Structure 1
């Protein structure tokens, strides 16, 4: 007697076959779309770098503009550009180097805690990508990656500086998960515009740029180093202050920028 089409065995077989076919299609789609996803991710990275530097232009593609940007790797432990030999020894390809990934590798990063970790990043990669816009051998502007913890999330952004390696051209986050309408105002163009022209360092070379709770007082002698804080977002504002001071300070890009000011580009 023929078996029933409603048997448990056939039901399981059909379900298994359907799952197998679907998994093949999903895997094929993931593999096939990966190059496109990587290209989109790379274009988004370039766009955010150009945006911080105020270089986006109508009528020109991101790749066309980014062709004028030079990517270099900095050794944060020495404060100098990493040599080809150093990068080869560490297995680093400057074109594909991912600072987030490197920060998770104990061999390419250092552990941070307590007072040594004001930005709340836990680990800092030994190397970092920086982006240079040059005129001949002279740097016209430099774009630095920065990140640190706010209230709910790690915020990732770029800060662009003028050729004095002190005056801010632009600053913005491209990845953050702060509260919309409060800490999420770090994405507000009006707030980001407040950073332009601010100075990072005081006369002693300390990174003192910070967010001012309640707004910047023009009579404050340090007003040129301060940006209006985010209303109703004290912890996010504090996080922004900590991360910019950390990354522009002695444990971040401070020694590197000091080297550029005194020695020029090598």
Structure 2
């Protein structure tokens, strides 16, 4: 009997030691890998911003970073007033602030299905070779079929004409909602107008396909009605008064230069 107890005790001790060693290894790995994960996340963000600005050139990591640092300036804004504010744009985390009730609001008209909206945001001002701002990149987030989808709107300096709509993070169905990443669908956006002549939001996703002369219409994603509706509602929310509307009103028609 004592022999069995001794064997059980040794086995239990061995298991405990193995668990402690494995936990230590996982902790050490997580700590050591965090800087690399942070750097990769930043590089992906910079890549998507350059794509939204029409400046993405295939190349090395250093090439993307250099292009971003040369042409892009990130600035914090207060979403309620649309004015620039002091703040560290590099460390700003929209998802973190949106979860903090002291740094976010619950939208009165939450058509994007985000639940809470951070009080602040980052806008990316993109300058050309002459140093003049020629496009603005606005981060967006809204519900798709399965979860929130994160992306960027690239607008020309009139804050109306689309340069690109780029999604960077989503959980949509491959071959359906995930077609937001399809280059053919993204190619439909450049030149479209977000607002009509009365400055009302006019962009729409058209089931069955938009007419060629429709400057506000973009083809819906085939077989992905709910994702398409989500994209349209996301754009209408973020272009509206509870999104970037105040910022757009402040700087519309080249007011940033």
Which category describes the TM-score, using the shorter chain as reference length? over 0.9
- Aligned residue for 1:7, secondary structure, equals helix
Could you list the runs of 4 or more consecutive aligned residues of structure 1 that deviate by over 3 angstroms after TM superposition?
Answer: 2-6, 135-138
Unpaired segments of 5 or more residues in structure 2?
none
Matches within 5 A, 1:125-136: 125-135=118-128
CA contact (8 A) 1:138 1:265 kept: no
2:195–2:201: 8 Å Cα contact kept in structure 1? yes
Structure 1 Cα separation of the partners of residues 25 and 54 of structure 2: 42
1:75 to 65, 78, 81: 78
Change (3 A) 1:263 1:173: closer
How far apart, CA to CA, are the structure 2 residues paired with 1:231 and 1:79? 36
Equivalent-residue separation in structure 2 for 1:154 and 1:146 (angstroms)? 10
CA displacement, residues 58-98 of structure 1 (integer Å, 9 cap, x when unaligned): 3462111110210001110101111x2xx4xxxxx322000
Alpha-carbon distance in structure 1 between the residues aligned to 2:134 and 2:212: 29
**Compared CA separation, residues 107 and 263, structure 1 to 2 (3 A):** farther
How many residue pairs match? The answer is 252
Query: Partners in 1 of 2:226 and 2:95 — Cα distance?
Result: 23
> 1:90 maps to which residue?
none
Distance in 1 (alpha carbons) for counterparts of 2:253 and 2:78: 17
CA distance in 2, matches of 1:58, 1:52: 14
TM-aligned CA deviation for residue 20 of structure 1: 0.9
TM-score normalised by length of structure 1: 0.89
Query: Unmatched 5+ residue regions in structure 1?
Result: 88-92
Does the Cα contact within 8 Å between 1:200 and 1:225 map onto a contact in 2?
yes
1:261 matched to 2:252: yes
Q: Could you say what the CA RMSD is over the residues aligned between the two structures, in angstroms? A: 1.9
